[in-house]
Chain A
Amino acid sequence: MSDVNVLDKLCAGSGLWRARELPGHRPGSKGSGSDGIGTGFPALDAELVDHGWPSAGLTELLCAVPGIGELRLVSPALSLLCTTEDRLITWVAPPFVPYAPALQAAGIDLAKVLLVHPDSHGEALWALEQALRTGACCAVLGWLSESRLKFAELRRLQFAARQGGAWGSLFRPQDALGDPSAAELRLHLQPRHGGLLVDIVKRRSGWPVPGIELTFDNPESGVAERV
């Protein structure tokens, strides 16, 4: 039996895939008909496999310091989801108060925002998994206690996000850069004047991409320009 046949068999029978067969990278499709959630930043969209955030999967945003612009990075996508989806946007254990007037100004429908403040790491994990798995949320934003987070837990969350068709974003400190993770997409965020410097640390079907410069359209108002 030739080696090629063995490879074909493997591909057909198991969960293996070829990078070039991925959605959005299919030969012939120009990559526009993807199912990602547009990030609102063309420079970032161009590097992502679905041309946007994964609509069913876990994303990790590793921030140098909290508050450098991680919310302004995700808010155009959340605003887009509010217009296309009727599902909830759930925040699990946010470190500060998501400020309602600013959220609304960013185009996020407050009627779809659910805040969960669990008491412990275990409860937070449970709440995250519930929110991702049930399919009641289109996006789930989570902040977990870093010292107790295990690889198996991340895998569970990634699986739950797949199952429930939810975009899960986990906000983590940059110390976690070296840790293994089951998330489909990992971004490292660093502050730049009026914007962010984003390194893609891990993505499906591609090598890491360092140094994508993003500028917030209107840094004064904290509102990314909406389409």
Chain B
Amino acid sequence: MKEMLWLAAYFPLLGLEGHLLGSRCRTPAVLVADNRVVQANKEARLAGIEIGSTLATAHTILPELAHFSRDPAAEQRRLELLGHAGYHFTPRVSLAPPDAMLLEVRGSLRLPWKTHPLRGDADDRKRSACFDVPCSGLTAIMDELAARCRRLGHEGSMAAAATPLAALVLARSAAGVGTPRDDVDALRHAALVHTDLPAKDLERLANMGITRIGELHKLPAWELGKRFGPALVDYLARLTGQKADPREYIEPPETFRSSVHLLEPIRGKGALLLPMRRLLAELVRWLAKRQLGVSALTWAVEPLSGQPTEFGVEFAEPRTDDKALLALSKLKLESATLHEGAEEVMSVSLKADSTAPLAPAAVDLFAMSRRTSASSAELVDSLTAKLGHDAVRGLRIVDDHRPEHAWSFERATNLHRSTSEPRTAIHRPLWLFDPPKPVDARLFELLSGPERIETGWWDTAQQHRDYYTAVSGDGVQCWLYRDHDERWYLHGYFS
């Protein structure tokens, strides 16, 4: 196999930039974890705030400092987004959490990337000599990747090398310095702090006077293994390419997105149906090719001026037929309110948010059950499209002794999937009052009881109740209880 060329992009301020998205003005800001500053932007650093200082210290230096707390999940999402930006250049994109990504670009160098007009050829020639690559490809990729990341709000430092680890180390050592230096010498001179070695090892090496990769590399491997364990030797072997370092590549989700831009503005919701039908026909073709069904759609209606209106449609089962999709979207459109100025619509776009492979048609002997579940899914879909998720639900049993906790609503999409086995007959009413209604016990004639329910001491909803069957003056059989404080409540009708 041909030698690989790895491009590492390192985002030292990933977490902080994630919080600053959309804010144009450059205020000093820091990212805080465990009450210590972990990331600080240029403005904050210029003011004298150091990484590792406490938040209190930072605020003393700069009272107007903006601070955010670290959110690893959000950082991972930002990194994935950047990874998808990298997917533009090569299908081999690998994330190096928490704050870097790796692109294998050997195969992409010959492609005609547009080069940056200001960048001289000197850099290119130097790089071509190092990596035996044709002119201009790498620089162009780096420039374009940096521009794409900047559009997402992230500044990265980049470097290329023959192994992923070397590229990472170079990218990290280049952070804040400017032009990345990516020759072998640079790697040799790179400080060990930019590697992924544990802090304990770094400290021991520093005590031995070893701070650079070149110095470490000169030491005999088996001696290092003896002193620092196999992990360090393994890391060095992967860094220098003596050992293969396979990476997992990200796979971008396949999504459908299309829009219709109109030459003339159209008015009214009714007129929207025509472009919507066209987009749905396109979607259905796309789905058919991939044997997929769509389970959630988002429509965006963009007026001549002003905010676009978005509305989503969800389905109980993945769908493929455009007539049903249109009918459900129409229901949703009718209940959606268009934004200000949306009387004149200029473009309509459709996005398939989630798709699922179509289940092979399960045909039973009488071809009954499939048809039934399909039509009940249609009913659930049209009810939810018009009334909303909270208005269309199923029921489910919860294993709890407290009567009002023994049941709960169930998502309507799970209907037909849950199977409940009939239980032994219990003395419970068919109608339940939620919440129980305070009543005057004198108006009822007690028939049987009490059934004591005393439970829930493990959480706040502790109960101590005596339940009775009773008959009201109207002849209705009721379920009453008396609580700890001798108050009476009506909890249900046996009906």
Contact = CB atoms under 8 A, between A and B. Distances in A.
Interface of A: 64-72, 75, 86-88, 90, 95-107, 109-119, 123, 126-127, 130-131, 134-137, 190-193, 218-223
Interface in B423-439: 423-434
Contact of B386 (A123, A131, A137): A123
A216 B227 CA distance: 84
B163 to A, nearest CB: 55
A99 B431 contact: yes
Interface residues of B, number: 58
Contacts of A134: 375, 378-379, 382
B153 to A, nearest CB: 41
Nearest to B414: A111
B475 interface: yes
Interface of B: 368-369, 372-373, 375-376, 378-380, 382-383, 386-387, 390-397, 403, 406-410, 412, 415-420, 422-434, 448, 469, 474-478, 492-495
8 contacts: A65-B476, A97-B434, A100-B396, A101-B397, A104-B420, A104-B423, A134-B375, A218-B425
B400 to A, nearest CB: 10
Contacts of B431: 66-67, 71, 95-99
B425 A105 contact: yes
Contacts of B448: 220
Contact of B429 (A116, A135, A222): A222
Nearest to B434: A97
Given A111-B416, A114-B412, A123-B387, A100 B406 contact: yes
A67 B476 contact: yes
Contacts of B394: 110-111, 113-115
A103 B378 contact: no
B332 to A, nearest CB: 14
A90 B392 CA distance: 10
A90 B383 CA distance: 11
A64 B474 contact: yes
A222 B434 CA distance: 19
Contacts of A68: 474-476, 495
A115 B393 contact: yes
A160 to B, nearest CB: 12
B391 A69 contact: no
A112 B422 CA distance: 13
A107 B395 CA distance: 14
Contacts of B434: 96-97
B430 to A, nearest CB: 4
